[in-house]
A = this chain, B = another copy of it.
């Protein structure tokens, strides 16, 4: 697998250990599913993708693993519309582009200065830990 994303090599086992959590085959297989196909799948889609490799895993466990990965800051939970949560393993600062025709979601890299400009709209006293930016519209046909 060639990583087209330039990211720090976030090691699952390490991050789990740091959080005082155990590494398990289920957590590995769920995390890997998010790494190999970065199309922001739902929990149920992850479940479907992971079952061929681990047929005994339960949907509840997929939910548990995803929650754990989010807690460890290895995965972002994405909610920009009604409907199931989606999960994203891209740790670089990025916005989401939601294609209203196809339903697909794309990552749009966010330069630091844009992020800074956005944060500058906050009045004094507002302390933002995170900023989420989502576009809705039509993505290129290609």
Give the size category of A's interface with B: 35 or more
Query: Is A109 an interface position by the 8 A CB rule?
Result: yes
Chain B residues, Cβ within 8 Å of A80: 79-80, 132
Counting every copy of the chain, the complex holds 2
Query: Is A1 an interface position by the 8 A CB rule?
Result: no
Query: Is A2 an interface position by the 8 A CB rule?
Result: no
The answer to whether residues A82 and B82 also contact, given A111-B121, A129-B136, A137-B126 and a CB cut-off of 8 A, is no
Whether A129 lies near B125 (C-beta < 8 A) is no
- Type the 1/0 row for A101-121, where 1 means its CB is closer than 8 Å to any CB of B: 000001011110010011111
User: Would you give 15 A-B contacts (Cβ < 8 Å), ordered by A?
Assistant: A79-B80, A79-B81, A80-B132, A82-B85, A108-B122, A111-B121, A114-B118, A117-B117, A118-B118, A124-B140, A126-B138, A128-B136, A129-B136, A131-B136, A132-B135
